């Protein structure tokens, strides 16, 4: 029978020395094989390096290609050192399968270890006592530095297990992982993925999958493992286009940066919305209500109108071309604009069509006016037209060449320009947007700039021609690489022709897919993973959807945690329109992070503050005694300093976050003696609520919750801050507490 949280019931039997010995011997064998493969890879690398920079250019680039590949392979083999093997499955058929961080076979190709992502490993995560499939025993192996330190079994079919020296226990590996002290860096969960999480991780590549779940239900962990799984299971489909991971802040991206490499994947591009456009630094800040304003979907129309406003029909007028007087005719302009628009190309690209048609019309006039001009003179006349100042000015005024940054700066700086195109905003809203040219961009400007860049486009004919040549060149490189792999015996599955071709270079090392994608604003990805997706504005969604025409996305979040005013209050409201209802939803229900008392206090607060929007339901996996402490103080900062000192001692090296109302961050950081920059591996960090999103700590000291509530337009910030600890939440307050928190005071 499965328990309510989906963890299968199991029966512990005493550990035995023989079992340990057996598993240790197996582990030694697998590590032995890992060492062999590393040696083998190192030898090949050394041989290539010994060959040095001699030989033809082609020989050298081949060697470079292989050297990089062996370096990558070595890095991958080194990354799996810790907890290489973590599971074993015994099947009805008598087959025994070990599950680990990568697949390994012995020199005779007999499988030794099954990659956790392979279909054959699925039962390790999915089998339950109620639906065991053909599994009779699932064994969790806990290891440290190549030594077995714990064994626990889930016996899924008690009748089928003989009277052996099996060690049985319950959720030990999971609880050990959850109770362990935090390090300031997220770790992988391959060894203890739970069934409902596994179903999400292995869900198909196509379509948009929304994964919702309350705090600590493993949404981030699942999203990252899913990225690794998809790259493994659909490598041929998504490797060339890459995977984009979008997170809420740079601090958060640093918090999770080790997870994918530890799963053997280094090619995922991670970014925030603010960093989406290469070359744009969105360092500015602004009031939340202005960010909300800029996030509205209506900007799509406003920006279209702003571009269209730069496509004008001038009144009839004279144009001097040398000594020849021509007439600029509104009908000609209208027709040329019509043709340019019909091309459906972005503004700057369509401008080429507009100019061509205008020049043709002017050439016709010229020929009519100047006797004796024939077809042969056309090129010369065009040259004259192009060098006429009158013509240049008129054509620019009719179809202005634009840049995204120039146009948006102009809209913000010139109220009449904005008023012309943004009738959908009120006068008060428009004046709130007013700011001078040269003011730093803010994160909410980035989706607007992106939309503009997309609609304005570049006159990139030359660039596209270059790309076409490169693509055909690359095809021949791939074909050559394939042949070379076949002949050299390097085709052992570690590398493929595309990878080798990536490393071939006419000049210097080629960029990886991730590097190329990162540098290219218009790159489209094979899959996009969005974490804390509830924070994204309608305009930010548009920027992401443009990058993913195939609509293959994993969207994880919790609408109860929304803090941005531009974010989602429901997935339907946010995504039904852009996705036209085409998405599927999965729900995670167990909170692995937050102790039960902390979770219920946070939920009470949410229910009391915003009864109309009850928080997403969750069940906590753990009870921790004295998990909520409330300290009242007369002086907030002094009170905080004393509590931090006390909690620091108690935490015994664990990680502690002091989460404070935004306006107090600097003062508190100084008072508790931590620096300005946030370094998550420090024992103590001071954060504002927004920055704590997605993170977790052993202990959270939460300052003045009523202020946090008052600062934000939504209770999501306070809810997020309260649900960050794995061990204890210590609330310190001078003002009255928000409803729901008081009740839990000790
Ligand atoms: N199956 C699991 N095994 C071990 N640890 C797990 C498992 N699932 C989740 N965790 C741990 O629980 C914690 C919370 O996970 P995670 O941060 O992914 O949750 P979340 O749903 O994204 O949280 P939030 O929405 O509150 O930011 C992490 O430390 C994660 O490693």
201 Cα to the center of ligand 1, angstroms? 14
Angle at CA of residue 409, ends 405 and 415, nearest 5°: 150
Beta bridge partners of 89: 97, 138
Proportion of the chain above pLDDT 90, given as a percent:
61
187 Cα to the center of ligand 1, angstroms? 10
For residue 193, which atom of ligand 1 is closest to its CA?
A: 1
CA distances to 553, 564, 666, 689, 718 from 560, in Å: 21, 11, 28, 14, 10
723 pocket-lining for ligand 1 (C-beta < 6 Å): yes
242 assigned binding-site residue: no
181 Cα to the center of ligand 1, angstroms? 14
Q: Which of 365-369, 417-421, 664-668, 730-734 has the lowest mean pLDDT?
A: 365-369
The pLDDT, as a whole number, for residue 581 is: 76
pLDDT for residue 333 is more than 90:
yes
Transcribe 214-258 into DSSP letters. -TTSSHHHHHHHHHHHHHHHTHHHHTTT-EEEE-S-HHHHHHHTT
The pLDDT, as a whole number, for residue 586 is: 96
In tens, the pLDDT along 612-665 reads: 888 988 999 889 999 999 999 999 999 999 999 999 999 888 999 999 999 999
The pLDDT, as a whole number, for residue 369 is: 87
Report the CATH number of the 596-733 domain: 3.40.50.300
214 assigned binding-site residue: yes
For residue 695, the SS3 value is: coil
For residues 680 and 686, the answer to whether their CB atoms sit within 8 Å is no
220 Cα to the center of ligand 1, angstroms? 7
Q: Which of 255-259, 332-336, 678-682 has the lowest mean pLDDT?
A: 678-682
696 pocket-lining for ligand 1 (C-beta < 6 Å): yes
Backbone angles phi, psi at 715, to 5 degrees: -75, -5
696 Cα to the center of ligand 1, angstroms? 9
Both tokens of 687, joined, read: 């954060």
Cα–chain-centroid distance for residue 327? 55
Nearest CA to ligand 1 atom 27: 694
216 Cα to the center of ligand 1, angstroms? 5
For residue 530, the SS3 value is: strand
Transcribe 337-398 into DSSP letters. HHHHHHTT--HHHHHHHHHHHHHHHHHHHHHHHSTT--GGGHHHHHHHHHH-HHHHHHHHHH
Q: Rounded distance, CA 148 to CA 28, Å? A: 10
- The side-by-side arrangement of strands in the sheet containing 85-91 is 104-105, 111-115, 96-100, 85-91, 135-144, 147-155
Report the complex ipTM.
Answer: 0.99
The pLDDT, as a whole number, for residue 372 is: 79
Tell which phi-psi region holds residue 26, choosing left (phi > 0), alpha (psi between -120 and 50) or beta.
alpha
Q: Which of 247-256, 264-273, 483-492 has the lowest mean pLDDT?
A: 483-492
493 assigned binding-site residue: no
Handedness of CA 656, 660, 665, 671 (dihedral sign): negative
Both tokens of 605, joined, read: 């607060």
219 assigned binding-site residue: yes
188 Cα to the center of ligand 1, angstroms? 10
The CB-based long-range contact list for 154-159 (8 Å cut-off, 24+ gap) reads: 154/8, 154/9, 154/10, 154/127, 154/129, 155/10, 155/11, 156/8, 156/127, 156/128, 156/129, 156/132, 157/92, 157/132, 158/11
For residues 590 and 618, the answer to whether their CB atoms sit within 8 Å is yes
Q: Rounded distance, CA 534 to CA 556, Å? A: 8
325 Cα to the center of ligand 1, angstroms? 74
220 assigned binding-site residue: yes
3-state per-residue secondary structure call for 561-599 = HCCCCCCCCCHHHHHHHHHCCCEEEEEECEECCCCHHHH
The pairing of strands 208-213 and 243-246 is unpaired
For residue 556, the SS3 value is: strand
pLDDT for residue 194 is more than 60:
yes
Q: Rounded distance, CA 71 to CA 50, Å? A: 15
The pLDDT, as a whole number, for residue 641 is: 96
The residue written with tokens 């020049």 in the block is 359
Nearest CA to ligand 1 atom 16: 218
For residue 192, which atom of ligand 1 is closest to its CA?
A: 3
Mean pLDDT of the chain: 87
Please choose from 211, 218, 534 the residue to mutate so as to test ligand 1's pocket, defined by most ligand atoms within 8 A of CB: 218
218 pocket-lining for ligand 1 (C-beta < 6 Å): yes
Band of residue 52 on the pLDDT scale cut at 50, 70, 90: low
In tens, the pLDDT along 589-616 reads: 999 999 999 999 999 999 999 998 889 8
Which pTM was predicted?
Answer: 0.86
Q: Do domains 195-283+513-590 and 596-733 have the same CATH topology?
A: yes
The CB-based long-range contact list for 642-647 (8 Å cut-off, 24+ gap) reads: 643/701, 643/730, 643/732, 644/672, 644/684, 644/701, 647/699, 647/701, 647/728, 647/730
Q: Higher-confidence residue: 21 or 266?
A: 21
655 pocket-lining for ligand 1 (C-beta < 6 Å): no
For residue 556, which atom of ligand 1 is closest to its CA?
A: 22
Q: Higher-confidence residue: 224 or 137?
A: 224
Query: Where do the structural domains in the chain lie, given as residue ranges?
Result: 16-190, 195-283+513-590, 596-733
533 pocket-lining for ligand 1 (C-beta < 6 Å): no
For residue 561, which atom of ligand 1 is closest to its CA?
A: 25
pLDDT for residue 234 is more than 90:
yes
192 pocket-lining for ligand 1 (C-beta < 6 Å): yes
In tens, the pLDDT along 398-419 reads: 999 999 999 999 999 999 999 9
Helical H segments across 652-688, by residue range: 665-672
Band of residue 10 on the pLDDT scale cut at 50, 70, 90: very low
217 assigned binding-site residue: yes
Q: Which of 36-40, 134-138, 327-331, 735-739 has the lowest mean pLDDT?
A: 134-138
The pLDDT, as a whole number, for residue 377 is: 83
Q: What is the mean pLDDT of residues 216-243?
A: 93
Please choose from 216, 222, 691 the residue to mutate so as to test ligand 1's pocket, defined by most ligand atoms within 8 A of CB: 216
657 Cα to the center of ligand 1, angstroms? 17
In tens, the pLDDT along 270-288 reads: 999 999 999 999 999 999 8
Q: What is the mean pLDDT of residues 559-564?
A: 85
Band of residue 465 on the pLDDT scale cut at 50, 70, 90: low
Look at domain 195-283+513-590 and name its CATH class. alpha beta
The residue written with tokens 């996996």 in the block is 621
Both tokens of 611, joined, read: 């009864």
pLDDT for residue 534 is more than 60:
yes
In tens, the pLDDT along 84-140 reads: 999 999 999 999 999 999 999 999 999 999 999 999 999 998 887 777 888 888 899
182 Cα to the center of ligand 1, angstroms? 12
593 pocket-lining for ligand 1 (C-beta < 6 Å): yes
């Amino acid at each position: 029978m499965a328990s309510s949280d989906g963890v299968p019931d199991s029966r512990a039997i005493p550990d035995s020395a023989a079992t340990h010995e057996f598993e240790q011997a197996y582990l030694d064998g697998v590590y032995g094989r890992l060492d062999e493969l590393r040696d083998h890879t190192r030898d090949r690398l050394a041989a290539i390096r010994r060959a040095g920079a001699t030989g033809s250019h082609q020989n050298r680039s081949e060697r470079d290609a292989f050297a990089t590949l062996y370096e990558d392979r070595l890095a991958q083999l080194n990354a799996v050192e810790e907890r290489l093997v973590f599971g074993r499955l015994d099947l009805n058929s008598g087959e025994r399968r070990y599950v680990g961080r990568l697949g390994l076979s012995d020199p005779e190709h007999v499988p030794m270890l099954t990659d956790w992502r392979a279909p054959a490993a699925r039962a390790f995560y999915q089998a339950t006592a109620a639906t065991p499939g053909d599994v009779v025993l699932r064994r969790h192996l806990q290891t440290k530095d190549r030594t077995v330190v714990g064994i626990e079994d889930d016996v899924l079919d008690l009748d089928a297990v003989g009277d052996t020296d099996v060690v049985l226990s319950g959720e030990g590996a999971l609880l050990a992982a959850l109770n362990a002290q935090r390090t300031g860096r997220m770790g992988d969960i391959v060894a203890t993925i739970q069934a409902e999480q596994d179903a999400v991780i292995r869900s198909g590549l196509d379509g948009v999958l929304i994964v919702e779940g309350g705090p600590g239900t493993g949404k981030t962990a699942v999203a990252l493992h899913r990225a690794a799984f998809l790259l493994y299971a659909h490598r041929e489909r998504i490797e060339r286009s890459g995977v984009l991971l979008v997170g809420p802040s740079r601090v958060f991206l640093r918090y999770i940066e080790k997870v994918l490499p530890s799963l053997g994947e280094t090619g995922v591009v991670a970014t925030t919305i603010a960093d989406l456009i290469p070359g744009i630094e969105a360092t500015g800040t602004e009031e939340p209500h202005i960010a909300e304003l800029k996030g509205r979907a209506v900007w799509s129309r406003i920006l279209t109108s702003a571009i269209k406003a730069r496509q004008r029909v001038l009144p009839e007028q004279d144009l001097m071309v040398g000594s020849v007087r021509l007439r600029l005719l509104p009908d000609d302009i209208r027709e040329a604009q019509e043709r340019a628009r019909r091309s459906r190309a972005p503004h700057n690209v369509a401008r080429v069509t507009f100019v061509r048609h205008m020049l043709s019309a002017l050439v016709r006039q010229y020929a009519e006016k100047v006797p004796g001009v024939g077809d042969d003179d056309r090129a010369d006349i065009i040259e004259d037209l192009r060098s006429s100042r009158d013509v240049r000015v008129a054509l620019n005024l009719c179809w202005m060449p634009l840049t995204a940054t120039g146009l948006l700066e102009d809209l913000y700086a010139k109220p009449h320009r904005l008023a012309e195109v943004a009738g959908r905003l009120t006068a008060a809203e428009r004046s709130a947007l007013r700011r001078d040219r040269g003011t730093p961009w803010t994160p909410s400007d980035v989706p607007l700039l992106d939309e503009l860049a997309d609609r304005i486009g570049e006159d990139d004919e030359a660039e596209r021609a270059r790309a076409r040549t490169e693509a055909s060149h690359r095809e021949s490189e791939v074909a050559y690489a394939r042949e070379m792999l076949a002949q050299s015996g390097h085709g052992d599955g570690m590398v493929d022709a595309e990878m080798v071709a990536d490393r071939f270079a006419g000049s210097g090392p080629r960029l990886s897919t991730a590097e190329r994608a990162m540098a290219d604003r218009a790159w489209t990805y094979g899959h996009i993973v969005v974490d804390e997706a509830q924070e994204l504005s309608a305009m930010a969604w548009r920027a992401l959807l443009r990058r993913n025409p195939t609509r293959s996305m994993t969207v994880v979040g919790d609408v109860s945690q929304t803090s941005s005013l531009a974010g989602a209050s429901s997935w339907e409201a946010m995504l039904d329109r852009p996705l036209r209802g085409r998405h599927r939803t999965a729900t995670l229900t167990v909170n692995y992070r937050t102790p039960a008392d902390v979770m219920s206090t946070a939920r009470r607060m949410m229910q009391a503050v915003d009864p109309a929007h009850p928080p997403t339901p969750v069940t906590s996996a753990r009870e921790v005694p004295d998990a909520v402490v409330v300290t009242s103080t007369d002086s907030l900062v002094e009170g905080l300093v004393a509590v931090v000192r006390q909690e620091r001692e108690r935490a015994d090296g664990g990680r502690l976050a002091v989460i404070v109302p935004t306006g107090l961050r600097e003062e508190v950081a100084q008072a508790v003696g931590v620096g300005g920059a946030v370094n998550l591996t420090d024992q103590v960090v001071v954060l504002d609520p927004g920055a704590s999103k997605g993170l977790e700590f052993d202990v959270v000291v939460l300052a003045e919750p009523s202020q946090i509530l008052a600062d934000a337009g939504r209770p999501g910030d306070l809810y997020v801050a309260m649900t960050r600890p794995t061990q204890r939440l210590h609330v310190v307050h001078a003002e009255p507490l928000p409803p729901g928190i008081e009740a839990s005071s000790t």
